[in-house]
Amino acid sequence: MKKKKSNAPRLMESGFRARLIQILLVLAVVVTIPALNWEFSLAALLITAVVFFFALLIGSQWLLPLPVRTLDDRIQQFLAFLGWLLNLHRPSFLVEDVTVKRTIEPGSGMLPGIVVVDGHTAVLTKRFQHYLRVLGPGTHFTVPFERVPVVGDGSRFAKVRETVDLRKQMRFHPLTAQTKDGMTIKTVFFAQFFIDRDPDPKLDRHNMYRFYEKAVQRAVMSERIGEKPDEHYDWTSLPTALGIDLLLHIISTYTLDELYAPREDDEGLSPLDMRKKIREELTNALREKLKDYGIYLILAGCGKISPGDERVTHERIDAWRATDSRRARLRRGSRGSRARTFTRAGRARYDPAHSGRFASSPAGVLRFLGAHAHGGGARSVVRWGA
């Protein structure tokens, strides 16, 4: 297969660049030979080596504007630049927005390569077929035989299972469940979570997301494989898978009226309070399960609950309306009875012809009320008679 021709400058090709540097070094030695003075030749070679070293040192800091902060990182940056010039470098990678791309092809692998990770991603590197270490946001230099997994030849950005998003994750999933009394309901499961974080506040100094290395390793290794060849489920699907099972179990412990019926005139919980109770119970149970996978759960719960069949909804509404109407009639009947009691009491007090037996004294009115009125009405008449 014919190799595709590159449009990059010749100087960017590692083979051409290495030969050019070697030729320049040999040329520096050849130029000093005609002097026929070994002391002068050695001095010239020494000066050439010193100038070349300082040129590389300055060039590595200016031509590679990497966000390095320590002296060791600057030394590694110099070695990486030297290896790039002499074709002695290891491959370099760019991790951006949870995707990976190989930016520089490997040389002989004697000097370090560079891995640049954006501010909200972590990546798990490999040595041979084993996981080696976790690289968080920032600039890193590879060790011997270390590599970042890529897709294909690595020439394009692609997502791999070894990259982890450190930002907060939000997931929704529609759900159909069955209540304790066998009724079907519809709701929505939701969860908010992120990779477990290091509580050290020093990590906020450079506006980087906190994380535990073990948490990233556990999250990467929690990937599941489905029946189909290309069916993979990464760590972000784990809270949904575990949370739905827990929510189904919690809903099955309540009846439909406990979850859905209005509660204004009842001592039970209202729908909003019931969802809050379910959210607290679900969050506590799911958070404990996700700890083993390096995931911290912020909250989990369910959305609005409604019956799965619309006919059930209409029947429930009719039943609630009938109950409210019956209660309203009872309240109106109670108010009418009290009004009639007041009327009869008034007549007995001021009309001796109507009830001469009770009009002789206030005590007689009270006895009359005690025989015909409720307790609340009698107390009201006592106040009125007083």
Kindly report, residue by residue over 97-136, the tens digit of the pLDDT. 999 999 988 888 899 999 999 889 999 999 988 999 999 8
Do the beta carbons of residue 83 and residue 112 sit within 8 Å? yes
φ, ψ of residue 56 to 5 degrees: the values are: -65, -40
**pLDDT band per the 50, 70, 90 thresholds, residue 314:** low
In this prediction, residue 113 carries a pLDDT of 93
- Tell me the C-alpha distance between 93 and 121, whole Å: 13
- Tell me the C-alpha distance between 190 and 174, whole Å: 9
Looking at residue 137, the DSSP 8-state letter turns out to be: S
Task: Specify the amino acid at residue 344.
Answer: R
Higher pLDDT: 262 or 303? It is 303
Compute and round to an integer the Cα radius of gyration of the chain: 41
- Tell me the C-alpha distance between 319 and 144, whole Å: 75
Q: Indicate the SS3 state at residue 79.
A: helix
178-226: pLDDT as tens digits: 999 888 889 999 999 999 987 766 655 655 678 889 999 999 998 888 8
The answer on pLDDT for 383 being more than 50 is: no
The stretch 32-59 carries a mean pLDDT of 72
In this prediction, residue 294 carries a pLDDT of 92
CA 352 to chain centre: 82
- Give DSSP secondary structure letters for 320-339: HHHHHHHHHHHHHHHHHHHH
- Tell me the C-alpha distance between 56 and 95, whole Å: 26
- Tell me the C-alpha distance between 357 and 324, whole Å: 42
Q: Indicate the SS3 state at residue 47.
A: helix
**Could you tell me which residues are beta bridge partners of residue 123?**
135, 163
φ, ψ of residue 284 to 5 degrees: the values are: -65, -40
**pLDDT band per the 50, 70, 90 thresholds, residue 38:** low
Spatial neighbors of 324 by CB under 8 A, at least 6 apart, are 265
- Tell me the C-alpha distance between 316 and 251, whole Å: 19
The answer on pLDDT for 95 being more than 90 is: yes
In this prediction, residue 216 carries a pLDDT of 92
Q: Indicate the SS3 state at residue 354.
A: coil
In this prediction, residue 377 carries a pLDDT of 44
Which is it for strands 169-178 and 184-195: parallel, antiparallel or unpaired?
A: antiparallel
In this prediction, residue 241 carries a pLDDT of 93
The answer on pLDDT for 274 being more than 70 is: yes
The whole-model pTM stands at: 0.68
In this prediction, residue 8 carries a pLDDT of 42
The CA dihedral of 250, 254, 257, 261, to the nearest 10 degrees, is -30
- Tell me the C-alpha distance between 47 and 55, whole Å: 12
Q: Indicate the SS3 state at residue 299.
A: strand
